[in-house]
Amino acid sequence: MQGDVRSSPLEGHRCSVAMRVACYRTRRASIEERRSTMTDRHGKVQAPARVAWDRLHESHSKDVLVHWPDGHTTQGIERHIEDLKAMFVYAPDTRILVHPVKFGSGDWTSVIGEMEGTFTKPMPTADGKSIAPTGKPFKLAMCTVGHWKGGVMDEEYLFWDNQAYMKQIGLAP
């Protein structure tokens, strides 16, 4: 029977293998349930056809760290909202309606979606000028990976192919 007993540093006492397996299964079920909830919430956060900017704080921490596809990083929910809004200026119909893939591990979740819209309004540039709309639609795969802490995302990585995006809206050969 000596081989059936292991020391458990988490509980501070000795547990049988059967007890450890039962504890593992219970903990695993709890992790899976939490992961499922987070991936569902993650998908719902990104999916609305009409964005409710004032509700983004329900899923993102006030000091969320966001890594963008172009390489820049921002910190804070207000800055994140401003960057997201900038995309809607020149393509006000931008939407993510489907998330065919959702998964997670521990406190991390990821969703793959299809982002689409139409370049119908002038695109502001950094020098204060603007690029005339081309009227061209875009549809591309995107991915967001989020780290969750205290029920909200405290870090988010956004991925999509910027070159394909620029080609589709007529700004790249």
DSSP 100: -
19 belongs to a structural domain: no
92 belongs to a structural domain: yes
State whether residue 151 is helix, strand or coil. Answer: coil
> Alpha helices, DSSP H only, in 13-161?
17-46, 77-90
113 belongs to a structural domain: yes
Residue that has been written with the tokens 């991925």 in this structure? 159
13 belongs to a structural domain: no
- The pTM score is 0.69
- DSSP labels for 57-72? GGTEEEEEEEE-TTS-
Confidence of residue 51 (pLDDT cuts 50, 70, 90): low
pLDDT value at residue 45: 45
Give the Cα separation of 98 and 111 in Å (integer).
10
Query: 135 lies in which domain range?
Result: 32-168
Give the Cα separation of 50 and 89 in Å (integer).
13
Confidence of residue 47 (pLDDT cuts 50, 70, 90): very low
Provide the percentage of residues in the chain whose pLDDT is more than 70. 71
105 belongs to a structural domain: yes
Total of domains in the chain:
1
Highest mean pLDDT out of 7-16, 58-67, 92-101: 58-67
Q: What CATH number is given to the structural domain containing 58?
A: 3.10.450.50
Q: Of 164, 122, 121, 158, whose CA–CA distance to 139 is shortest?
A: 164
Mean pLDDT (the chain, rounded): 79
pLDDT value at residue 53: 83
7 belongs to a structural domain: no
Confidence of residue 27 (pLDDT cuts 50, 70, 90): very low
pLDDT value at residue 13: 36
Q: What is the pLDDT of residues 105-142, one digit of tens each?
A: 999 999 999 999 999 999 999 899 999 999 999 999 99
Confidence of residue 40 (pLDDT cuts 50, 70, 90): low
At a CB cut-off of 8 Å and minimum separation 6, what does 124 contact? 86, 89, 90, 130
25 belongs to a structural domain: no
Q: 57-60: which pairs have CB atoms within 8 A and are 24 or more residues apart?
A: 57/152, 58/152, 59/152, 59/153, 60/152, 60/153, 60/156
95 belongs to a structural domain: yes
Q: Of 40, 18, 8, whose CA–CA distance to 109 is shortest?
A: 40
Average pLDDT on 58-71 reads: 95
